[in-house]
Amino acid sequence: MNDSGIVIIGGGPVGLVAAMYLAPRFGSVTVLEKRPDPRSRLGAVGRSITVMLSTRGWRALAEVGLEGPVRSICVPIHGRCAHLTDGSSHVTPYSRDRRPIWSVERARLHRLLLDAAEATPGVRLCFDQQVREVDLDEPAVVVDGPAGRQTLTCRLVLGCDGAHSTARAALVARGAREEVRTLEMAYQEIDVPGGWLDPFTMHYWPTGDGFFGAFPLPSGHFAGSLFLRLDGPPPSYAAGGGDLFGMFTTHFPEPAAAIGDLAGQLATKSVSTITIASCDRWVWQDKLALLGDACHAMAPFMGHGMNCGFEDVRTLAECLDGTDDTESALAVYEKSRVEEAKAISALSQQHYHTMSTPPQDKAAALAKEALRERLFELFPDRFVPLYEQCAFTEESYATLLNNDLVLESLVEELLGIHGPELVSAPASTLRACVPGAADSITKES
């Protein structure tokens, strides 16, 4: 079959947002999705993770006219609360001025995006269509559907087909290098009743090597996720074996007491593994581009995989706008995104330690954390918490990662020279120790 339009492989969040961006600009867009329509009884999923939307994600949603509808199904979350084994808790606001990030059930967001994409002139959604192969020369896709096997030629293929991407495989066959691996960490989704936790905060119980997280839902209940190692000593899925319930109650007594049907949920809910994937090439001539998890499936701990995928879409649309030279536009897109994806993937992996390690675990880490806090307070424009910048700005992830490394060295250097007493030193002493402080705006205290 011939089609002069764009073919998108994958009707996940990134593929659907890409369809809504591109159809109004470039005409016909066909989305090929291997699964049944999740809005139908057959395709409905019985469980759903929640995903966090930050500024980058909102920008893309706003540009396709969906900011209001999506906001109406979200819950604002102001920070995360670590619940420690000694019964104390420790709240970290997501931003210093209490701006929230927004949590949404992934399945609900997906249904909303499907409705919106379907209503976009020029977009055609085709379900039960599994792409088996991408021919980069035509370009064309070989797809298996209810009517059998077909080859669909088109103008441009966009691979939005997730971590196990068939589109990426076509690039790898032409020499691109990919890295795909399964994290040692897996998760199980557990329904958590409301009424005992602040409903506008993400709650977590770190064990040092895993955690249980509870994410607010619009109903006031929480979507729980039990993140544990697959193997190794307790707490891990392997060590829990037949007695996951016993292990859960030992390591997470507080949520264990609140979740009524915990044993049943642990016994019946599936344990999902997490695949991370990256690729050094994202485009092929003027024929193919990868977006979203197809080129950067990352650890979920920063909550940026989808946000970053939406940013890919916006960047691609900007590169393609106003030029007939698709090959150059795709090259610019690749160049501007590969390092960004590497940086946020590294940050996501790093953030696992924040989520799994109790905040007051080690004296040295505590001193570093406390000194950072003082620097954020004293030099509000020069030093901004990394999580806050990732969530509330569109600053390059690579720049943010680099800035954070610089801050980490400064903190280590200051503690090395002045010792941990610096953490509680008067503001004037601290100001005098920080290089370049005279040129910075500081907050009087």
Ligand X SMILES: Cc1cc2nc3c(=O)[nH]c(=O)nc-3n(C[C@H](O)[C@H](O)[C@H](O)COP(=O)(O)OP(=O)(O)OC[C@H]3O[C@@H](n4cnc5c(N)ncnc54)[C@H](O)[C@@H]3O)c2cc1C
State the residues that interact with ligand X by CB under 6 A: 9-15, 32-35, 49, 51-52, 130-131, 160-162, 166, 187, 274, 292-293, 300, 303-307, 309
Nearer of residues 166 and 265 to ligand X, judged by Cβ = 166
Cα–Cα distance, 223 to 44 (Å, whole number): 18
Check if the beta carbon of residue 294 is closer than 8 Å to that of residue 165: yes
Q: Which residues have CB under 8 Å from 202's CB, separation 6+?
A: 77, 79, 80, 81, 103, 213, 214, 215, 216
- To ligand X, the closest distance from the beta carbon of 97 in angstroms equals 21
- Using alpha carbons, list the distances in angstroms from residue 307 to 46, 191, 303: 24, 25, 8
For the CB of residue 282, give the shortest distance to ligand X in the complex, in Å. 13
Minimum distance from CB of 214 to ligand X (Å)? 13
Closest to ligand X by CB, 53 or 411: 53
Phi, psi at 79, each rounded to 5°: 180, 180
Q: Which is nearer to ligand X, 176 or 297 (CB)?
A: 297
- CB closer to ligand X out of 161 and 334: 161
Q: Of 35 and 124, which has the nearer Cβ to ligand X?
A: 35
CB 397 within 8 A of CB 348: no
* Closest CB 370 distance from ligand X, rounded Å: 28
**Which residue number is nearest to ligand X in terms of Cβ?**
12
* Nearest distance, CB of residue 143 and ligand X, angstroms: 7
CB of 168 to ligand X, least distance (A): 10
Specify the residue, 312 or 404, whose C-beta has the smaller distance to ligand X: 312
For residue 306, CA distances in Å to 162, 300, 332 come to 11, 10, 21
Residues ≥6 apart with Cβ < 8 Å to 336 = 315, 319
Is residue 234 within 8 A of residue 241, CB to CB? The reply is no
The CA distance from 134 to 167, in Å, is 6
CB 346 → ligand X: shortest distance, Å? 16
Kindly report each contact of residues 383-387 with a partner whose C-beta sits within 8 Å and lies 24 or more positions away, as own/partner: 383/407, 385/95, 385/96, 386/347, 387/94, 387/302, 387/351
Query: What does the block give as tokens for 29?
Result: 């867009």
Rank residues 114 and 411 by Cβ distance to ligand X and give the closer one: 114
